[in-house]
Amino acid sequence: MSERIPLAAVAALGLTQVIGYGTLYYSFSILAPAMARDLNWPSEWIFGALSLALLIGGLAAPAMGKWIDRFGAGRVMAAGSAIASAALAACALSSGKIAFVVTLIAIEAASNLVQYGAAFALLVQIRPKVAQRSITYLTLIAGFASTIFWPVTTALQAHMPWQSVYLCFAALNLCVCLPIHAWLAFNAGRSRKEASGGAARHVEPGLAPSIRTPAFALMVAGFALESFVNAALLVHMVPVLSGLGLGAMAVMVGTLFGPSQVLSRFANMIFGGGLSQLTLALVSAALLPSALVILIATAPAVPGALVFAVVFGLGSGLSSIVQGTLPLALFGSEGYGKRQGQILAIRLVVTSTAPFVLAFLMAGIGVQWSLAVAAGVGVAGALAFIAIGRLAGMPDRSRGALGRAET
């Protein structure tokens, strides 16, 4: 009899992911103007501080991965909730620019301990055989973080200063996320003990030892290039659409991105069980440059921009899933946390610089040529996943090994 998805654990973890992403990431863009006024900084300096924090957090990610494998993802996430709460409170109480930047770095470092990288590892440690589908369910729930926390943060800011909002968010991480992560840590530890006393429950690597090193390098490159396109366009989506002549319609078009992300995750949950994780990774990577080509070819027509937003959202939504499931399918569950830390480090370094690179390109060569360059980067990411398939001798040799989803 096949293992069942740990629905209670997925639901509980989904709640902490919504809170984690909402309080530690999505709220920042809403509160940034008030932060800039209080610190007497231009807004771009505030976002520059965030980029610095993301970069330093990325450099610390490999250590996080090792801690997950050594101590268990649940314990790391419980500690991360406590650190996140303290960092949010310290940022709210910071009295100067240096203190603000230091506490912001602490917030982003803590986010690595409680967000997707750690959460995926926890699901692998609880029930590795069904972790692929568990991750899909989790990303579906967590996809509502921005939908919930953008309006919640806006409503709170209308009645209190940003410092009080951060103190409220610190309380959420301490009083909601910490107990849940502690409970999940206990369950994960019990699952490990049960596994050690019975049949092996870990997931075997889907690749031969001789090709794992080049395949891992290609996978990380593919994820990094995909993240570059995703991060660059997310920050500049409205300015890009406006620069292409969409005018007031730019904001309306941009609002389709979030629902499209959730739609892609829901569709994968219902219909994606027969596809390998490498195929899903290739589809995800191919959708991003395809969306950019559609936008370049149709601008400034509104219907084309609408199609762009939907296709781009579909690719981005799938990307969140395969960044958790593909490493498991290709390299197995042993050492999963370490690999997630390495992937996260590269991804955060790339995403922290991508918005600045695209802004520089748009100022130098214009919006359309900048989008063409971004599309080329996206195509290179898709080619990396194709190269992994060639290494593995797809489709016959590795059809099941490359990660058919457990049903």
Tokens 């149709």 correspond to what residue? 298
Contact 296, 304 (CB under 8 A): no
- Classify burial at 200, counting beta carbons within 10 Å of its beta carbon; exposed 0-12, middle 13-18, buried 19 or more: exposed
Tokens 């579906």 correspond to what residue? 140
DSSP 375-389: HHHHHHHHHHHHHHH
Quote the pLDDT of residue 236.
Answer: 74
| Residue count (the chain) | 407
Secondary element (H or E) of residue 36: helix 27-39
Q: How crowded is residue 258: how many other Cβ atoms within 10 Å of its Cβ?
A: 19
Q: How crowded is residue 379: how many other Cβ atoms within 10 Å of its Cβ?
A: 18
Q: Please name the amino acid found at residue 274.
A: G
Quote the pLDDT of residue 398.
Answer: 39
Torsion over CA: 239, 240, 246, 252 (sign): negative
Quote the pLDDT of residue 405.
Answer: 41
Contact 211, 47 (CB under 8 A): no
Cα separation of 280 and 273, whole Å? Answer: 10
Domains of the chain, CATH where assigned = 7-197 (1.20.1250.20), 209-392 (1.20.1250.20)
- Classify burial at 184, counting beta carbons within 10 Å of its beta carbon; exposed 0-12, middle 13-18, buried 19 or more: buried
For the chain, residues with pLDDT lower than 50 are 1, 198-200, 394-401, 404-407
Quote the pLDDT of residue 205.
Answer: 83
Question: Is 42 in a helix, a strand, or coil?
Answer: coil
DSSP 293-337: HHHHHHTT-HHHHHHHHHHHHHHHHHHHHHHHHHHHHHH-STTHH
CA nearest to 68, candidates 10, 113, 13: 113
* HSE toward the beta carbon, residue 217, CA cutoff 13 A: 4
Quote the pLDDT of residue 170.
Answer: 97
Contact 54, 143 (CB under 8 A): no
CA nearest to 12, candidates 170, 176, 129: 176
